[in-house]
Amino acid sequence: MPGQRLRARGARSNRAGRFEPRTHVAVDDGWDSACEARLVQTEVRVERPRSALSFNRSPDLPFDRSVNPYRGCEHGCVYCFARPTHAFLNLSPGLDFETRLIARPGIGAVLADELSARGYRVAPVAIGTNTDPYQPCEAEHRVMRDVLEVLRDFNHPVAITTKGTLIERDLDILGPMAAAGLVRVGLSVTTLDPVLSRAMEPRAAAPARRLEVIRRLTAAGVPVRVMVAPVVPGLTDSEMEPILRAAKVAGAVAASWIMLRLPGEVAPLFRDWLAERFPGRAAKVMARVRDVHGGRDYDPAWGKRMRGEGVWADLIDRRFRVAVARLGLDTALPPLRTDRFAVPPRPGDQLRLF
């Protein structure tokens, strides 16, 4: 809105989502002209969840179920592929995605009920695959802590993806779970350049701080996979080998990479950001992006959307394979254990005699 200022935000606009019948344009009507400029604030609403587990059948994903403690993400990563999900809430995938957040307190109790169901079959649950469970508002709402306590009580395997430092708070749970073979963490490092990171991921931890998180998780016995994700061709692809080396030194034991994905409303948001932040490189970056996605900003086809195709995609993949082999990061991690799963007794339950 006129009179408002953006600071540490990824999106530069708040255009309507794809399901909205009309577009709204902010116009200065003169009433606020004399007012002091106001920062765009973060607002967190509360949703009472009716379900916790989300299931998928995607052939591109190594898991079939996940839990989302939050909708939207304050980290504000301009490239975030999850931005279009805000359109389902009649909110903008732009600034709304990073400023109008939804916390889901009580989801731990709902999860416990679902895990206790007679027909439930255990398999690793993924957390952080849509929005980050350790974004800044977790410090106040502690939804992820609630979920993790339930998974610990059930001895349920979990794979966590994050770039947030708040995960260090939960080392008292993660350490023992890791010792039991029940948890692993994927930590995203997109660039080692703090200036670029600040522009591209404005409210996420600085690269050096993320490497420190890897060190602390490793010291607690938690296996960490460094995720070079997303790789932005023409902007961050040259950093792949340095990122992998730094993560190895910090203690990472495995690695993966994902190509930049620009589904739905993300593509225009990313183009606007490029034009403002890197006007001299914008045309080159978008040309490379289209090269790896069959001439389009994004190709959603199974088997292609995560890696892309063509010369540039093949080159990035070969560089990654050579680097992880040289660094010893190509070792397959053992599967998370499912044999320890057990529904804990609740007050009033009949106790077992033997």
Taking the C-alpha atoms of residue 342 and residue 158, their distance in angstroms, rounded to an integer, is 14
Domain positions in the chain are 8-17+43-327
Q: According to the model, what pLDDT value does residue 34 have?
A: 47
Structure pTM? 0.92
Sequence-distant (6+) residues with CB within 8 A of 138 are 69, 70, 144, 145, 164, 166
Encoded tokens for 256:
């993966």
Q: Give me the numbers of helices (H) and strands (E) for the chain, helices first please.
A: 11, 12
Asked: is 8-17+43-327 a CATH 3.80.30.30 domain? The reply is yes
Residue 301: how many other CB atoms lie within 10 Å: 11
β-bridge partners, 286: none
* Beta carbons of 71 and 49 less than 8 angstroms apart: no
* Beta carbons of 39 and 5 less than 8 angstroms apart: yes
pLDDT in tens, the chain (354 residues): 555 667 778 888 888 777 777 777 666 666 655 444 577 889 999 999 999 999 999 998 989 999 999 999 999 999 999 999 999 999 999 999 999 999 999 999 999 999 999 999 999 999 999 999 999 999 999 999 999 999 999 999 999 999 999 999 999 999 999 999 999 999 999 999 999 999 999 999 999 999 999 999 999 999 999 999 999 999 999 999 999 999 999 999 999 999 999 999 999 999 999 999 999 999 999 999 999 999 999 999 998 999 999 999 999 999 999 999 999 999 888 999 999 999 998 776 766 666
β-bridge partners, 162: 187
Number of Cα atoms under 13 Å in the Cβ half of residue 88? 7
Taking the C-alpha atoms of residue 232 and residue 3, their distance in angstroms, rounded to an integer, is 33
Encoded tokens for 322:
């050579």
DSSP 3-state percent helix, strand, coil across the chain (nearest 5): 35, 15, 50
| Location of structure tokens 């109008």 | 100
β-bridge partners, 183: 158
Burial (CB < 10 A; 0-12, 13-18, 19+), residue 261, is: buried
- Helix (H/G/I), strand (E/B), else coil: 162: strand
Sequence-distant (6+) residues with CB within 8 A of 204 are 75, 76, 77, 163, 164, 197
Encoded tokens for 4:
């408002």
* Beta carbons of 151 and 184 less than 8 angstroms apart: no
- Cis peptide bond prior to 334, omega within 30° of 0: no
Q: How many residues does the chain have?
A: 354
Q: According to the model, what pLDDT value does residue 353 have?
A: 62
Q: According to the model, what pLDDT value does residue 66 have?
A: 97
Taking the C-alpha atoms of residue 20 and residue 265, their distance in angstroms, rounded to an integer, is 12
Encoded tokens for 33:
């002209």
Give phi and psi for 301, each to the nearest 5: -65, 140
Taking the C-alpha atoms of residue 114 and residue 55, their distance in angstroms, rounded to an integer, is 13
Residue 72 is given by DSSP the state: S
| Location of structure tokens 């040259």 | 238
Q: What angle do CA 170, 191, 79 make, to 5 degrees?
A: 85
